[in-house]
Amino acid sequence: CTSAASRRSCGQAGVNGAIGVGDAAASSEAVRAVLADPDKRRLTDPLWQSTEVVRSLPSRLVRIEGWRTLELGIVTERFKAPAVVVSPRDSLVVRVRLKSVDGTRVRLVQRSVDAPALAVPRGYVRLRLACGG
């Protein structure tokens, strides 16, 4: 991946992890496999602790011209504290994974949501993501 923010090797030939926006010199399936494997994910993002799909939603709820919706759901992720005096982070987002109709591009877009029933874990601070992808 080439990223505006960070570039790290994930230990698999031809696959890099990224924080930010960028292009991967690998298939979207290979990048997704790295992010889905906890041991490899920790190599690309040492602060990452866990990802949980709280609820899957019907992909037909999101329609964007030129794109096919692959996944839609509510997801929580937890991250270690970035520094000693900072609390660990928790996020709760609606996440959609899209693929261009020509099959050449994949987008992952997410936005924070409020869900009072899903409390912030003790000792964590909830991240607010206006929009990312």
Q: What is the mean pLDDT of each run of 10 residues along the chain (133 residues)?
A: 37 40 71 83 88 95 95 94 89 92 87 90 88 65
Confidence (pLDDT) at 15? 35
Query: Alpha helices, DSSP H only, in 10-133?
Result: 28-36, 38-44
Spell out where 57-120 has E strands: 67-79, 89-100, 106-112
Confidence (pLDDT) at 69? 96
Confidence (pLDDT) at 20? 52
Which residue in the block uniquely carries the two structure tokens 């790295």? 34
Provide the whole-model pTM. Answer: 0.72
